[in-house]
């Protein structure tokens, strides 16, 4: 039987055939019930200033349970060595903001662990106008140089006037940096921020996590 949230339980009680006194008793019981995990988007999760070690949430962006391991958010469903995927939509507003607001695709796996991207799929959806500036736009490991450690450079995609897609087996520009412990995977524009344009990116990363 699935574990239901407090909201779901209250709704079930209200729609049940129990009489009013019985519903009051059940509602009192539900008031003391704690959800297994609060539901948050990635942005809401990242806004928690000092998460408690072991804090558990359900990430509605990637439909996965995540916990805070003391230094970073980790995916509970990520068995070491198992293949996983995450999809993140990057809006036109985020593209125009460029490198001032990097977007986290995958949280750091934590100390002693490394994220290993297997493939990266990017879909560019043209909306009303191409972005005029050719950019240095990459998927890269956090805190490292975007250009030297990118997994895929998407700069020319934004100048297109039609829907485009790309897939790449992930490998950094510098092979010695392909496996990096305890780093998040990010998207950002480093240079050539566009000042106009309308389109969005949908990025899917297939990856695994290993001890390192």
Of the listed ranges 18-22, 95-99, 107-111, the least confidently predicted one is 107-111
Q: Could you identify the residue written with the tokens 């990635």?
A: 42
What pLDDT shows up at residue 211? 76
Q: Could you tell me if 197 and 124 are in contact, meaning their C-beta atoms sit under 8 angstroms apart?
A: no
Q: What is the pLDDT of residues 25-82, one digit of tens each?
A: 777 776 665 556 678 888 888 888 888 888 888 888 877 788 887 767 777 655 566 7
pLDDT tens string 108-154: 877 778 888 888 899 999 999 999 887 888 888 887 666 656 667 77
10 has a pLDDT exceeding 80:
no
Instruction: Name the pLDDT band for 1 (thresholds 50, 70, 90).
Output: very low
Set out the domains of the chain in order of their start, with CATH numbers.
Answer: 78-212 (2.60.120)
Q: 5: which residues sit within 8 A by CB, 6+ positions away?
A: 35, 39
User: Could you tell me if 172 and 147 are in contact, meaning their C-beta atoms sit under 8 angstroms apart?
Assistant: no
- Average per-residue pLDDT for the chain: 79
Q: Note the pTM of the prediction, 2 decimals.
A: 0.62
């Amino acid at each position: 039987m699935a574990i239901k949230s407090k909201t779901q339980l209250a709704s079930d009680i209200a729609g049940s055939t129990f009489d009013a006194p019985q519903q009051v008793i059940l509602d009192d019981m539900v008031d003391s019930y704690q959800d297994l995990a609060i539901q948050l988007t990635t942005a809401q999760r990242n806004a928690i200033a000092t998460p408690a070690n072991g804090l558990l949430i359900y990430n509605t962006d990637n439909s996965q349970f995540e916990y805070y391991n003391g230094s970073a958010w980790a995916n509970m469903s990520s068995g070491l060595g198992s293949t996983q995927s995450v999809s993140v939509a990057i809006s036109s507003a985020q593209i125009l903001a460029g490198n001032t607001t990097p977007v986290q695709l995958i949280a750091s796996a934590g100390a002693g662990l490394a994220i290993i991207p297997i493939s990266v799929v990017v879909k560019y959806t043209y909306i009303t106008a191409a972005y005029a500036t050719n950019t240095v736009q990459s998927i890269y490991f956090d805190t490292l140089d975007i250009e030297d450690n990118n997994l895929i450079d998407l700069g020319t995609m934004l100048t297109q006037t039609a829907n485009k897609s790309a897939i790449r087996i992930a490998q950094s520009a510098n092979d010695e940096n392909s496996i990096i412990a305890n780093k998040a995977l990010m998207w950002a524009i480093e240079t050539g921020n566009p000042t106009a344009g309308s389109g969005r990116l949908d990025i899917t990363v297939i990856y695994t996590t290993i001890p390192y």
